[in-house]
Amino acid sequence: MKLDADSRVTSIKRLRLVNGEPVSFEHVFVPFHLYPELYHEDLRNSLYSLLARKGLKVHRASQSISAGFAPQEICELLNISKKAPTLNIERVTYLEDGTPLEYVLSTYRGDRYTFHVDMSR
């Protein structure tokens, strides 16, 4: 994220639900200097809407998606067995000027989530 080793970040852990059932767990890191008050905000709704109200608008992101298995602590949160497959995502999101806005590690239940991508040329 182009931060110095001693830079502060806000760490947000969120369990995402659909119809009351856990679907994904995400761990988000936002550079503290971009939004020092973020820790005090209500994070139950869209993080991107909250960031946009602060003038931090997402411009682009780069992410990798891989299949795998979650550690026991995340399996318990997602209500899945340790042998259940998951989709694991690592993403860096950027502002228009190229400043990294967030680094995200997400784990999605393989039986409850599908990624759909439209591609054109």
- Is the predicted pLDDT of residue 116 greater than 90, yes or no? no
Query: What letter does residue 36 receive in the DSSP assignment?
Result: G
> What's the total number of domains in the chain?
1
- Is this model's pTM higher than 0.85 or not? yes
Pick the closest to residue 66 from 43, 89, 50 (CA basis): 89
Arithmetic mean of pLDDT, 90-103: 96
Residue 4 lies in a domain: no
Residue 46 lies in a domain: no
Q: Would you state the pLDDT for residue 115?
A: 83
Q: Would you state the pLDDT for residue 109?
A: 97
Look up the domain containing 70 and give its range.
11-29+54-109
Are 101 and 95 in contact by the 8 Å Cβ rule? The answer is yes
Mean pLDDT of the residues in the chain: 94
How far is it, in rounded angstroms, from Cα 99 to Cα 121?
28
Residue 114 lies in a domain: no
Residue 74 lies in a domain: yes
Residue type, 84: A
Pick the closest to residue 67 from 49, 85, 79, 45 (CA basis): 85
> How far does the chain reach from its first CA to its final CA, in angstroms?
30
**Coil, helix or strand at residue 27:** strand
Are 107 and 88 in contact by the 8 Å Cβ rule? The answer is yes
Residue 121 lies in a domain: no
Residue 24 lies in a domain: yes
Partners of 67 in beta bridges = 87
Residue 117 lies in a domain: no
Q: Would you state the pLDDT for residue 82?
A: 95
Residue 105 lies in a domain: yes
For residue 24, what is the domain's CATH number? Answer: 3.40.1410.10
